[in-house]
Structure 1
Amino acid sequence: MNSKINENSQEKKTIFIIEDHQASLDNLCDLLALLGPVKGFTSAQSFLNFYTGEEKGLLICDIRLPGMGGILLYKTLLKQKKFLPTIFITGHGDISMAVECMKLGALDFITKPYKSQDLLDLVYKAFNSTNLLPKACRHETDLSVIDDLAITPREKSIVKELHAGLSSKEIAKKLFISVHTVEAHRANILKKTKSKSTLQMLAKINKIQEAS
């Protein structure tokens, strides 16, 4: 993957990056410039003041920012109808926050620490997606993929603890089962929901619960 994302597109797209640490922002801008035009911001508010909603592209945003955080920024953009596909950068302790963003329509997440190539691949894939509008702004829903799944009571209890941010070891201790059993249930739930990660699975399960 060496081609820039805009070479085969008639519509210019920009990668917007929000990172409060200047050195980290500079590194991200240098990295993602391999894929196309980039614009960096050190705060959510500075980006919000700049972005009119007319420029097409993709937003890379740290979920934890001083002042206005990533979640509030995303909600504000949706409220203002400035629909911008967003990939959040999250920490290991931000599972609940990440799930909330996915429910709102965030495109994807990448968890710290991450490999540079993984982020490049994620952004490249996003720009080659057939539909970059946030899920919350689409008419169709992906509930049809999971609405007929048979999630067992035990699996539901594990989902609840995963949503609370517990590790497999902590869940095993709380539910009086082995870690191996927890991992087996987790794998089964991922398979049933056709999810590639726990974050994606939790978001889909939340949609089922909200629709029921």
Structure 2
Amino acid sequence: MKLSRLFTRVLQRELQLAYRRRADLANPPLFFLIVVALFPLGVTPDLERLATMAAGVLWVAALLANLLSLDLLFRSDHEDGSLEQLLLASSPPTLIVLGKALAHWLVTGLPLTLMSPLLAMMLALSPAAMPLLMLSLALGTVTLSLVGGIGAALTVGLRQGGLLLTLLIMPLFVPVLIFGTAVVQAAGAGLPWSGQLALLAAMAVLALVSAPLATVAALRIAVEE
């Protein structure tokens, strides 16, 4: 089987499985919406203060929303026994992991990115910063999905692995949060932002190259246990 065909089949399968879990599919966008919508009510209605905090609020909410669905990334494969077959197959397991990570981004990171301009308007974010908000979230959520797969693989055999998953991967998410917020803040203030965006893109490329290999290694450890 050609690698491109294998990748396409894995992606289609994961999207079909995600569609069957529509309740789980809706959790990250709803969480994102609720957190951002409640923030002005709980902190301040002052638009100037909200504008200064908007980038951080949107990025923190997106990061936490992304975490909600990471625990399910390999859970069904482990429960039905197909995870062992995935690792023993002649096809490259890294390609399969990459397909699963892309599917996770399409059903989680992409909706959050598309929702962000509307929620940014609620927080009075500068219109000039909105294109960079979407671009930074697109790059950042790709990194979160790829890196989060490592933690999901390590905790796949645990009954209550959600909390441990968060503790394992949160330190790896912090640089993405810092530079993603910095890009939006710099754009809103009219300051140079290309350096922060370049670092965010570099992290996405590094995750794309290394995270699937680390995820496969973590899955082998989880299966052997």
Compute the TM-score of the two structures, normalised by the length of structure 1: 0.29
**Comparing both structures, which one devotes a greater share of its residues to strand?**
1
Q: Which has the higher contact order (CA 8 A, sep 6+)?
A: 2
- Structure 2-normalised TM-score? 0.28
Specify which structure has the higher proportion of helix. Answer: 2
